[in-house]
Structure 1
Amino acid sequence: MAEVNRAQINARSAPKELHYIDISSVSPGQVNNITTYVRADAPGRARRIVQHGNVLWSCVRPNRRSHVQVMHHEPCTIASTGFAVITAKKVPFTFLYLATTTDDFVAYPTNNATGAAYPAVTATTFEKAELLVPPALLLMIFGDATTPMAEEIHTLQRKIHNLRHTRDLLLPRLLSGQIEVEAA
């Protein structure tokens, strides 16, 4: 129903500029920061090509639930090789994301992680994961109902990000007196 790590860049196919998502910039359900690099300055782990609707799941410490569904990314968005990039094939991308973020699913990579100090899984762990899949008609109805919701969530998250950025620019200026507010 999905592919894991379907596409990655190499030295010949690397874009001149890339927008990089690293593991530390992802918290449950959102990307907190994307760093732009020129190819020569990009980290060596910047290899996984990201597409609209992909699910990014951190292979490191899966119990932390560092996952996100990528929506309307910038061109040349690349994720760290520390992620499993999961691409929906036979199910709506919204179904795949919701199915891979349930408590039961999170228990699967958490229980299959190796390493005591730095528990991690591989992409193969995600490839072997089993999910219950409803009949095709029900999947289609689900996708039709949830895709607009995912789009709205994305739009609202971008607005929140822009408002926070604006607040962070204005607040220090207001407090320092650089900007004055007049009473109406």
Structure 2
Amino acid sequence: MIGFTTDPRSSRSSPYCTDVARVTNSLILHVNADDPEAVMRVARVASEWRAEFGKDVVIDLVCYRRSGHNEMDEPMFTQPLMYKRIRQQKSVLDTYSQKLIVEGVITEQEFINEKEKYDKICEDSYEKAKKQTVVHNRAWIDSPWVGFFDNKDPMVLPDTGVDESILNHIGIPLLESFFLNFSFL
């Protein structure tokens, strides 16, 4: 869903959000995100496909947000039937942990201990994040970009090498044409 009120059938011109990947003839795998083991199998297939054929793979996690568009949203206002049903669903964590306990893979106490450990990691990280007041660009840049910001002010735009008059000659008519023909309806 997009925003707070967009119905899924109005959100795109194709049935799946992954249909855009069809233009590159990429492998598209749809998987139920309520099934962690299926998600892992699909991730493994995608990794092996990429390694074997060197081609892109798109994984469509078929899922929903338990809390609506964002944590501040109350989705019952705009999608009451859907969210009534979602609230009746057990969480993936509850369902999967019960499956593992019933199968004897873990004990209930092991699950409780691991959950408490994870909750503590999250709480500690949250407290640490509240104290961090400076954002370091390098922490957000992937490895191919190593050195990208070295000795550069990221707030200063470098010269593109194209004269501003040429950019205006091309850009202004395009923008004018766009807005002349633009309609919200």
TM-score computed with the length of structure 1 as normaliser: 0.26
Report which of the two has the higher share of helix. Answer: 2
Greater relative CO (CA pairs within 8 A, separation 6+): 1
Larger Rg: 2
TM-score, normalised by the number of residues in structure 2:
0.25
